[in-house]
Structure 1
Amino acid sequence: MSALNQKPSAIESFQDITNNLLDLAKIPAFLRVLLTTDGTVTKSLEAFFWEPLIVETISQNETVLDEPAPYIERDTGDRVVARSVHLRGLQSNNIYVTANSLICIDVLNPQFQEDLRMQRLGIGELLRECNLETYRQILEVGEDRRKDEVWRTYRIVTEHHPFIQITEHFPLSLY
């Protein structure tokens, strides 16, 4: 078999936090891309579903952590912004993603903090607008058969410091 026909062995499957092996081959191709990409998903979803998406904030609160958040290197008692949003299709009204985030607001510039408080954009778009150099590190990928969804957790890092943790939930029925 030529190298072009071989699957990339590093992404054939992921082990989720319950130690179940998630077989990516059984997941629709576009969802595989979304689960394994280290980029923002909003523009990809808009292109795939051919409709604009709106960010619908479910909740956003400054809070004190009641347990450690090791993915963003925060301890119990540290202040963060806890945010939950839906990425909803403007015409279809479909909820393509539900995202839950923990954001270390104290490391962000004042413009980003203000834009975040305004709740007008997704985090990826806010980061792009602020020209903040970041990278995403995928930490976990899993499946919840009861909810008929797959999910991923990743963190966003700037200057070698993780400052945002995001878990995105994708309903299988839409993909």
Structure 2
Amino acid sequence: MIVYKEIAKLNRIFPLLNEEKILLGTDGSITNILEILFEDACSVETIKQVILNNTNYREVVLKVNEIPLVYAISKTPFKNIEEENLREEIKKDLLSADIPIGKIIRKHNLETRREIIKIGIAEINSDLKKILKTSHNRLPKRTYNIIYKNKILMEITEVFAIRGKL
């Protein structure tokens, strides 16, 4: 996928803010971008979390100053983390604290890359509207993998609700 072309194509059918284009296309930390844009620390509110078949499923909202900005679903297959100590530390971080994934990666000094799989528009139902405190029926979204040692460390889908909040 050529990311800038996908964003340009999406922008023609759903006009995007420049900040949304950056969030959709970055191969860096969303947490860091939100902290820069909103000039404060990013926090995580976990909505739901469960481990099935040695894979952690986590639904969260990323917030700055209690403003909900991103709804994210992550899947972390623990079998792809070969080092046992690291696997247990990441599992502990995911389960015991509301830590953004970007900060978990930084904390463990992991050399990772992000591979964007899909960029599009999410249809927002009433439950998600409440969670994100938005009136928008459609918002930009993307799905990407975080790759560590040539294996998928996490698959993440994010819905961006920054419209009208900047």
TM above 0.5, yes or no, is yes
Match of 1:153 in 2: 143
* CA distance in 1: counterparts of 2:50 and 2:111, whole angstroms: 25
Greater relative contact order (Cα < 8 A, sep 6+): 2
Quick check: 1:114 aligned with 2:92? yes
Quick check: 1:134 aligned with 2:109? no
Query: Could you tell me how far 1:120 is from its partner in structure 2?
Result: 3.0
* CA distance in 2: counterparts of 1:141 and 1:32, whole angstroms: 10
Query: Could you tell me how far 1:28 is from its partner in structure 2?
Result: 0.6
- Structure 2 residue runs of 5 or longer lacking an equivalent are 125-136
* CA distance in 2: counterparts of 1:125 and 1:62, whole angstroms: 21
The code of the aligned residue for 1:102 comes to K
* CA distance in 1: counterparts of 2:19 and 2:5, whole angstroms: 14
Counterpart pick for 1:144 among 118, 122, 125: 122
Task: Give me the CA root mean square deviation.
Answer: 2.2
* CA distance in 1: counterparts of 2:113 and 2:150, whole angstroms: 9
Match of 1:89 in 2: 64
Match of 1:23 in 2: 11
> What is the TM-score of this pair, normalised by structure 1?
0.75
Aligned residues: 146
Matched ranges for 1:32-111 at <5 A: 32-64=21-53, 79-90=54-65, 93-108=66-81, 109=86, 110-111=88-89
Q: Contact 1:12–1:23 at 8 Å: present in 2 too?
A: no
User: Once the two structures are aligned, what percentage of the paired residues are identical?
Assistant: 28
The code of the aligned residue for 1:83 comes to R
Report the structure number with the largest CA radius of gyration: 1
Higher helix content, 1 or 2: 2
